[in-house]
Every structure is written in C-alpha cells, then in structure tokens.
C-alpha cells in the first residue's frame, strides 16, 4: 500500500539515491587513489583518476538539477544552486590538479555572475549584450580572473592553470569590449580598452609562447578596428570615399594578417 500510494515519489527518490551513490563512489575512488595535494603540477600514476573525477562532477550536477526540478530543492535561490557546485569544483580542481574541472568551475562562476549565452539564444537572435549591465559584469568577471592569475602566481599555487584562466578571460574581455563599442557606450573608453587588452595578451602570448592567443588577438582587434574605421567613415556620408578606402583597407589588412601569421614565431620570440 505504501509503494502503491507513493509510486511517483519513490521512483524519483530511487533515481536521486542512485545518482548520489554513484557520485559518492566516484569521489571516494579519486580520494583513495590520488596523489597527495601539491602546490605544483601533479603527475598522476593512475590514468583513471581524471575520468572518474570528471564523471563524479557531472553526476553531481545531474543530482542537483534533478533534485531542483522534482522537489524545488533551492526554491528560487538560483544563485545558491549555481555557486555550490562552482565552489566544489574549484576545490576539487586544485585538490586533484584537473583542468577540466577547473573549466567547469569557471563556467559556473560565469553563470553565477549572470553571464550565459546558449546556442539557441544565438540562433534566435537574442542579444544579451544589449543590456549594458551584462557588459560591465563580463568585464568585471574577466578582470577578476586575471587578478586571480596574478595572485596565484605570486603564491606559486598551480601556476600551470594560468592558461585556463587567461583562455576564458581573453574571450570575455574582447567580446564585452566589442559589445561596448557596438552599443556605443563610450568610444573614448572602449577603444583604448580594446587596444590595452590586445597589448596585455600580446605579452602573455610571448610569455606562454602561445600561437593561440596571438591568433585571437589578431581576430578580435581586426573586428574592432574595422568597426571603428567604418563607423566614423559612415558619419561623413561620402560613400565613394568609403568604398575607395574600404577596398584598399581590406586588401592591406588581409596582407598584413597573412604576414603576421606567417611570422608568428618572431612575434612570439620563439
């Protein structure tokens, strides 16, 4: 009679219990099999640890999401629901030296800050960056990540995580800055900011010998400079001059891009 009257609830509780047991088993395994914590990079002797830890984190997200959907565990406190796995993933990433879990933690931090763009939103043409608060939040988050890199390098804690933090920050910074330009918030602020980000990441690209960073610096700066040039040209209403300048600009800029990419080793001082 008890099962008959509560079959739906028992079904959900069974799924939640199985998820919880599987999640606990994953975390128990990595704690038992992993190397001791170190400030430096850990060379794991067990090839399964990274995969089991990643599975445990994904199961934790599934468990939390399932509980929220079925039982409204956190109510409308969505910030709490986001920050809890974020903090857990940061701790696990540093304890077990896992860049994948660190990436999940940074993604969770961005979600907690309110920065999220799904593929469907892009397809549907929903423009989150038209909200100016969104732009300032994104810039603040990126600056926080860069500051975190500086602090962690000072205390020599997992310095090999630097690239992961900077990888998130470069895209957030450039996209938010371009959004500020496109939204015409303040060209006097965002044009120098765009160039400053490019200079900062150029030095980081040299420091890390990263062709990846150099490529995205060229891409984002090309978008920004092209926008600025034609924005002010269009204000003149001299359309034949715009076509003339544009013709030589695109030929010259493409040639310059090819030259820079071809000579990337000398730019990065490799």
First to last CA, the chain: 74
pLDDT of residue 132: 83
Question: Is residue 28 within 8 Å of residue 86, measured between CB atoms?
Answer: no
Contacts from 47-51 at CB under 8 Å and sequence distance 24+?
49/96, 50/96, 50/98, 50/100
Q: Flag whether 139 is in a domain.
A: yes
Other Cβ atoms within 10 Å of 156 Cβ, number? 9
pLDDT category of residue 26 using cuts at 50, 70 and 90? very high
Question: Is residue 193 within 8 Å of residue 177, measured between CB atoms?
Answer: yes
Positive/negative CA dihedral, 201, 206, 208, 211? positive
Residue with tokens 């939640």: 16
Q: Flag whether 192 is in a domain.
A: yes
Sequence-separated (6 or more) residues with CB below 8 Å from residue 246: 230, 233
Each residue of 146-199: pLDDT tens digit?
999 999 999 999 999 999 999 999 999 999 999 999 988 888 899 999 999 999
Q: Flag whether 257 is in a domain.
A: yes
Q: In a 3-state reduction of DSSP, which class is residue 251? A: helix
Q: What is the DSSP string of 139-160?
A: HHHHHHHHHHHHHHHHTTSSGG
Sequence-separated (6 or more) residues with CB below 8 Å from residue 206: 267, 268, 269
The size of the chain, in residues, is: 270
**Domain assignment of residue 142, given as a range:** 114-267
Q: The whole model's pTM is what? A: 0.88
Q: What is the DSSP letter of 115?
A: -
H, E, C per residue of 181-203: HHCCCCHHHHHHHHHHHHHHHHH
Percent above pLDDT 70 for the chain: 92
Each residue of 45-100: pLDDT tens digit?
788 999 999 999 999 999 999 889 888 888 888 888 999 999 999 999 999 999 99
Q: Flag whether 251 is in a domain.
A: yes
Question: Is residue 116 within 8 Å of residue 79, measured between CB atoms?
Answer: no
Q: How is residue 140 written in tokens?
A: 């603040």
Cα–Cα dist 176/194, whole Å: 10
Q: Flag whether 174 is in a domain.
A: yes
Cα–Cα dist 12/75, whole Å: 18
Radius of gyration, CA atoms only, the chain = 24
pLDDT of residue 238: 80
Q: Flag whether 180 is in a domain.
A: yes
Q: How is residue 67 written in tokens?
A: 């509980």
Q: Flag whether 190 is in a domain.
A: yes
Cα angle, residue 163 at apex, residues 159 and 165 outer, rounded to 5°: 90
Could you give the number of structural domains in the chain? 1
Cα–Cα dist 32/162, whole Å: 28
Q: Flag whether 172 is in a domain.
A: yes
Q: How is residue 226 written in tokens?
A: 């092209």
């Amino acid at each position: 009679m008890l099962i008959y009257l509560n079959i739906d609830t028992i079904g959900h509780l069974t799924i939640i219990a199985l998820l919880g047991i599987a999640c606990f088993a994953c975390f128990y395994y990595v704690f038992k099999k992993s190397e001791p914590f170190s400030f430096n990079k850990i060379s794991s002797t067990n090839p399964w640890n990274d995969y089991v830890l990643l599975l445990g984190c994904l199961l934790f997200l599934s468990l939390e999401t399932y509980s929220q959907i079925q039982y409204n565990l956190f109510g409308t406190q969505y910030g709490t629901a986001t920050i809890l796995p974020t903090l857990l993933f940061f701790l696990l990433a540093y304890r077990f030296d896992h860049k994948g879990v660190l990436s999940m933690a940074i993604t969770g931090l961005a979600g907690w800050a309110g920065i999220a763009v799904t593929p469907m939103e892009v397809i549907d043409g929903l423009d989150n960056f038209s909200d100016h608060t969104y732009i300032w939040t994104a810039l603040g988050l990126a600056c926080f990540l860069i500051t975190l890199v500086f602090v962690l390098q000072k205390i020599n804690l997992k310095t090999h995580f630097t690239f992961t933090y900077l990888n998130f920050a470069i895209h957030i910074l450039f996209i938010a800055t371009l959004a500020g330009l496109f939204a015409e918030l303040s060209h006097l602020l965002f044009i120098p900011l765009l160039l400053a980000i490019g200079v900062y990441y150029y030095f980081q690209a040299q420091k890390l010998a990263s062709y990846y960073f150099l490529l995205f610096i060229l891409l984002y700066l090309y978008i920004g400079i092209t926008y600025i040039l034609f924005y002010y040209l269009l204000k003149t209403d001299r359309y034949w001059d715009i076509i003339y300048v544009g013709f030589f600009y695109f030929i010259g800029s493409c040639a310059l891009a090819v030259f820079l990419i071809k000579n990337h080793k000398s730019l990065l001082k490799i």
